[in-house]
Structure 1
Amino acid sequence: MANHTDTLLIDSVVKPRNIEKSLNLNSKLANYKLVIFDWDGTLMDSIDRIVSSMQAAAKHCLLTIPSIEQVKGIIGLSFPQAFELLFPEASSPKITEVFNRYRHEYLECDSTPAPLFDNALSLLTKLNENNRLVAVATGKSRPGLERVFKATQTAHFFHASRTADEANSKPDPDMLISLLAELNINPKHAVMIGDTSYDMAMAQAAGVDSIGITLGVHDETILNNYQPVAIVNSMFELEQLLLPQF
Structure 2
Amino acid sequence: MTLDIERIELVIFDWDGTVMDSVGRIVSAMQTAAQLAELPVPSAHAVKQIIGLSLDLAFTTLFPTMTAAQHQRLFEHYREQYVERDPTPTPMFAGAEALFLHLRAQQKRLAVATGKARKGLDRIFAETGLAHYFAITRCADDAKSKPDPDMLLQILAETRLAPEQALMVGDTSHDMLMAQQAGIARIGVTHGVHGAGVLQQFQPLAIVDDLTQLQNLLSGRPLPA
Please give the range of the TM-score, normalised by the shorter of the 2 chains: over 0.9
Which of the numbers 111, 121, 126 marks the counterpart of 1:150? 126
Shift of 1:180: 0.6
Q: Counterpart of 2:161?
A: 185
2:101 and 2:131 map into 1 onto residues whose CA distance is 12
- Matched with 1:6 is none
Q: Tell me by how many angstroms 1:87 deviates.
A: 1.2
Q: Aligned to 1:132, which of 99, 104, 108?
A: 108
Shift of 1:97: 1.1
Deviation (angstroms), 1:30: 5.4
Cα contact 1:30–1:244 (8 A) shared by 2: no
For 2:221 and 2:56, the matched residues in 1 are separated by 43
- Aligned equivalents of 2:163, 2:8: Cα separation in 1: 10
AA aligned to 2:187 is I
Alignment check: 8 A CA contact 1:212 1:231 kept: yes
For 1:47, the equivalent position in structure 2 comes to 23
Residue 73 of structure 1 corresponds to: 49
Larger Rg: 1
Q: Which runs of 5+ in 2 are unaligned?
A: none
1:85 to 55, 58, 61: 61
Q: Distance in 1 between matches of 2:110 and 2:16?
A: 16
One-letter amino acid matched to 2:79: R
Aligned-CA RMSD value: 1.3
TM-score where L is the length of structure 1: 0.88
Give the total of aligned pairs.
Answer: 222
- The superposition leaves residues 156-193 of structure 1 with CA deviations (integer Å, 9 ceiling, x where unpaired) of 00000000111000011100000011111110010100
Q: Return the offset for 1:29.
A: 3.7
Residue type matched to 2:59 in 1?
F
Q: Which runs of 5+ in 1 are unaligned?
A: 3-24
What's the counterpart of residue 123 of structure 1?
99
Which whole-Å CA distance do the structure 1 matches of 2:43 and 2:149 have between them? Answer: 28
Counterpart position of 1:95 = 71
* Partner SS, residue 217 of structure 2: helix
Q: Percent identity of the aligned residues?
A: 48
Whether 1:195 aligns to 2:163 is: no
SS in 1 for 2:100: helix
So what's the TM-score if we normalise by structure 2? Answer: 0.96
Match of 2:207 in 1: 231
How far 1:35 moved relative to its partner? 0.1
